Structure 1
């Protein structure tokens, strides 16, 4: 028996008719807002505009401005020499003005120029990986077995009162040393001319107005200095002992910097410390956060042109002229020793030198390059032990010996006693400036100004 329906009711169980042409009397489908031609044109324009905007953003992005060519096969560390070599001769050289000393990583030897960082095979100098940006490099160093690159930005969007308005070193990236793969990155407040100081755990970027310290993932652990901060206007991340309660702030500039054992030491030149520089020491991790430095000691040092020479354990060696002396302090600012020095006057004019004194380390020893000679210090007490006159740099430990660059060659010394064993003749052409050294496997590297030279 079939069920019937009355007129005007819809049979919801009935199957729809198929292929039924629209008759002339059937009403047309209502227009939607996306079926009108002008609406379709508008949608197309929106899509095109979005694509153009994306393209413009991509063109100006860091990703577009970066070239990263990693090594197909990671670089293997070369083997150390089994016997001390009878001679050293040049094997290869490369331009590297952005590295203040040889960047030896345990695998690659790194050179850097312009905006380009190259990971090379230590034995041959062959480029194995490449990282480049459309920004000039400020500096390149090694820490945490990685390569730390710092790039310059122009600072044009900052107010003229900001120390970074003339440009800064704010783009920081770490790379894996064996293949050049990018690891971590951060935007920072480092200033032009920055150097990187590594204590084995933390890296501190130097500057005349601010010091920034990072851990291995580039997270900021403490900032020390006067830097405009839009989030905390007027807040000063400085040493409370150098601040006065009057209307005029005590202005300080930062000079020589050292780091060790989870502490950072800095020479401050403050307007209220008349007649003397100040040594201040603070922990590499802020007290409660990165913007609250925990100062452990701060003391005037009794003279100008102070230089932090060495930081070992909880002791800091500071060199001073007038009279010439090496003074040892604890991290609490207590003086524990003082030793006379006999150096050319220019060696101890720290204000004219860079923020980091040139040193090298060996087991139980620190080798300090003064500018005219190398002085060996006992690593524990920081006591001066012996001197190499006429040196061009602090040297490097290599195959159980100490190599010290001198005019026309490299002296080979006993690393503990300083006794001279011999000299490797080295022709440096017309270069007579300072020489920074390091080694990787059987290779010895010299940084001669803007050039890295490999010797074997």
Structure 2
């Protein structure tokens, strides 16, 4: 088919001769090109990728010694400031250090940096879970930018956005619970959110959240359970709520239990297990035990000691092993049965909950460490540790046969003497 032509014989599809283009058209086109280049450059300079520096490990770490019998003493290998790790994070041969905007993996033996991850945002908190290091950064008003890292290499894993508030802690595993003053959420190993409760930032369905205006006081987590002690308008006392993340439907949280403790103010949620919750009642120290449905099944007096720790972040200082939870009251370490959460034994005059080392539980004391029988609480031996005048709380972890102490904001790695 022949194309039509005008009376002058020109085809309507022929290109416009250069001499017929207006200078204004060319100027507009040039401005558009410049704007596109500027926008592209600005995005490139300010994108998350451009503002992130990730250096992964290339060599092999120094082999760590195997934990054997508790030695007669420990000597210091190295130390580093790590204010963004509320508890020590040790990943096999590496120890995680976090300060400012930087997370790094240090060789547990030498202290040399093996990998690092830095963003142009301040860190809120760093915690270990699911064999990863979870680093949460603050972006504006919220602690919202969560990155996961392999603890031995620094290789990046999944990432996601949270709605957590400053002061957040990441506790537990399966799920991880992100705490907050009026909002909490849980997520699984792929970082997908499994539940949220409280003042939800973008509520999809009105009425999905059962209560409003509540303030959250303390938190605990166990397998498929997230506990919170809260104060809600109109309640006659503090309320214990235990969420079941696997049963959550969208914004609507599922609960194993939610029960008001009449007349109770100033309590602490110490721990939850798959079947129980333990709440420290004010006054004469006692643990109130609640079953999975929220029924109070007992009260056990505890020898908390002269100083009772009230954690500013709402998380009781505990460690765990298959047999027990070890809770530091502020003056004493108390072993709670792993299933019933009933107190089993008490060790007075301690600085933290302790950690397993071989067949023993090592508990920090003002003079060093107590090597304790985990079943009975009997002290098998005392090990001196020179902390250079530090008398505050001490939280412990192990990297093989090495001992990691968190003294305030400083990590100190010790080896058997």
> Is TM (by shorter chain) over 0.5?
yes
| 1:232 pairs with 2:243 | no
> Aligned in 2, Cα 1:433/1:82: closer, same or farther, shift over 3 Å?
closer
Match of 2:291 in 1: 330
Check conservation: 2:270, 2:316, Cα contact below 8 A: yes
Deviation sequence 1:70-111 (CA, Å, 0-9, x none): 111365873523443332111100110000110122342101
Work out the number of aligned pairs and report it: 402
> Aligned in 2, Cα 1:433/1:224: closer, same or farther, shift over 3 Å?
same
Check conservation: 1:77, 1:108, Cα contact below 8 A: no
Distance 2:332 2:348 in 1: 5
Distance 1:34 1:443 in 2: 81
Distance 2:18 2:123 in 1: 54
| Higher strand proportion (structure 1 or 2) | 2
TM-superposed deviation, 1:419: 1.3
Aligned counterpart in structure 1 of residue 259 of structure 2, from 288, 291, 299: 299
> Aligned in 2, Cα 1:77/1:282: closer, same or farther, shift over 3 Å?
farther
Question: Where do 1:211-360 residues align within 5 Å?
Answer: 211-229=184-202, 232=204, 235=206, 237-238=208-209, 240=210, 243=211, 251-274=213-236, 276-289=237-250, 291-302=251-262, 303-344=264-305, 347=308, 350=310, 353-360=312-319
TM-superposed deviation, 1:37: 8.3
Question: Where do 1:22-421 residues align within 5 Å?
Answer: 31-32=16-17, 36=21, 38=23, 42-73=28-59, 75=61, 78-154=64-140, 167-198=141-172, 200-229=173-202, 232=204, 235=206, 237-238=208-209, 240=210, 243=211, 251-274=213-236, 276-289=237-250, 291-302=251-262, 303-344=264-305, 347=308, 350=310, 353-421=312-380
TM-superposed deviation, 1:45: 3.7
Deviation sequence 1:331-356 (CA, Å, 0-9, x none): 210112211123357517x5x64311
TM-score (norm 1): 0.83
Larger Rg belongs to: 1
Distance 1:108 1:260 in 2: 26
TM-superposed deviation, 1:40: 5.2
Distance 1:365 1:40 in 2: 77
Off by >4 Å, runs of 4+ in structure 1: 33-37, 39-42, 74-77
Match of 1:436 in 2: 395
Deviation sequence 1:140-196 (CA, Å, 0-9, x none): 000100000001122xxxxxxxxxxxx221111111112111111111110110011
Higher relative contact order structure (alpha carbons within 8 Å, sequence separation ≥ 6): 2
Match of 2:6 in 1: none
Distance 1:180 1:58 in 2: 23
> Aligned in 2, Cα 1:72/1:31: closer, same or farther, shift over 3 Å?
same
Check conservation: 2:175, 2:223, Cα contact below 8 A: no
Check conservation: 2:68, 2:357, Cα contact below 8 A: no
Distance 2:15 2:78 in 1: 79
Superposition RMSD on alpha carbons, in Å?
A: 2.4
> Aligned in 2, Cα 1:33/1:433: closer, same or farther, shift over 3 Å?
farther
> Aligned in 2, Cα 1:419/1:344: closer, same or farther, shift over 3 Å?
closer
Check conservation: 2:304, 2:330, Cα contact below 8 A: no
Distance 1:299 1:282 in 2: 12
Check conservation: 2:65, 2:402, Cα contact below 8 A: no
Match of 1:451 in 2: 410
Distance 2:117 2:19 in 1: 48
Task: Find the residue that maps to 2:315 and give its secondary structure.
Answer: coil
Structure 1: gaps spanning 5 or more residues: 1-8, 10-26, 155-166, 244-249
Task: Find the residue that maps to 1:339 and give its secondary structure.
Answer: strand
Distance 2:157 2:245 in 1: 22
Distance 1:31 1:138 in 2: 60
